[in-house]
């Protein structure tokens, strides 16, 4: 009986093939080439960090705290890299996941709210305005209007928002300023504001 059972099972065993997951795989030469290409494209931390060499901050975060009244979690300009007094400035906001807005916007897909991008541009404009005749550092500018606002791409944790504002008008007698601004991520336009109006608090 055992012999008969063995004779019946032999043809089945001969045709048996191990599942693909249990078979050892031997990488082909063609599969190894992308790995070599990846290694060649790899850039070290020092190499990437050196991309911003020669761009020392004009205003550090400590300097900005002496100019603007904003504080955590609403201080949205980390440093200023370029500055033309009374005219324009370039500032940076590093976007990180541990910022409080990302707990709800959105839990499964964190995106920097568009209104905060506009606020960051407004704060950068404030850095310029609060150093103009008729305004004192630490004074408060109220946001009085925004026109021509457009968002071109999401801004997410890990992005560096590079912003530029230009003051278009400053009426010291009335404490009114007008500006325009743009913000970029990796050289790509993320947000633009055609017109921002500010009123100096009396």
Neighbours of 193 (CB within 10 A): 21
Nearest to 99 by CA among 189, 19, 28, 161: 161
Q: Which of 202, 181, 173 is nearest to 126 (CA)?
A: 181
CB-based contacts of 38, cutoff 8 Å, min separation 6:
none
Q: Beta strand 141-151 with 176-185: parallel, antiparallel or unpaired?
A: unpaired
Strand order in the sheet with 79-84: 79-84, 88-94, 160-171, 176-185, 188-200, 141-151
SS3 180: strand
- Nearest 5°: the CA angle 69, 128, 74 is 35
Catalytically annotated residue among 65, 83, 99, 105: 105
**Is 105 a known active-site residue?**
yes
Tokens of 71: 């504080």
Single out the residue of 155, 46, 177, 152 nearest to residue 92, CA to CA.
155
CA 154 – CA 21 distance, rounded (Å): 40
Catalytic site residues?
Answer: 105
């Amino acid at each position: 009986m055992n012999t008969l059972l063995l004779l019946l099972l032999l043809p089945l065993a001969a045709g048996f093939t191990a599942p693909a997951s249990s078979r050892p795989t031997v990488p082909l030469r063609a599969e190894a080439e992308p790995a070599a290409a990846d290694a060649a494209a790899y850039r070290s931390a020092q190499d990437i960090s050196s991309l911003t060499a020669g761009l020392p901050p004009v205003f550090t975060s400590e300097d900005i705290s002496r100019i603007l009244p904003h504080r955590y979690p609403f201080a949205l300009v980390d440093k200023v890299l370029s500055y033309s007094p009374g005219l324009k400035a370039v500032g940076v906001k590093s976007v990180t996941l541990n910022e409080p807005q990302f707990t709800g916007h959105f839990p499964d897909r964190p995106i920097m709210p568009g209104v905060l991008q506009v606020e960051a541009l407004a704060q950068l404009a404030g850095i310029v305005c609060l150093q103009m005749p008729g305004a004192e550092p630490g004074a408060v500018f109220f946001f009085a209007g925004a026109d021509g606002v457009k968002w071109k791409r999401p801004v997410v944790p890990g992005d560096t928002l590079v912003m530029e504002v230009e003051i278009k008008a400053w009426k010291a007698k009335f404490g009114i300023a007008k500006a325009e601004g743009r913000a970029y991520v990796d050289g790509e336009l993320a947000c633009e504001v055609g017109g921002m109006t500010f009123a100096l608090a009396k």
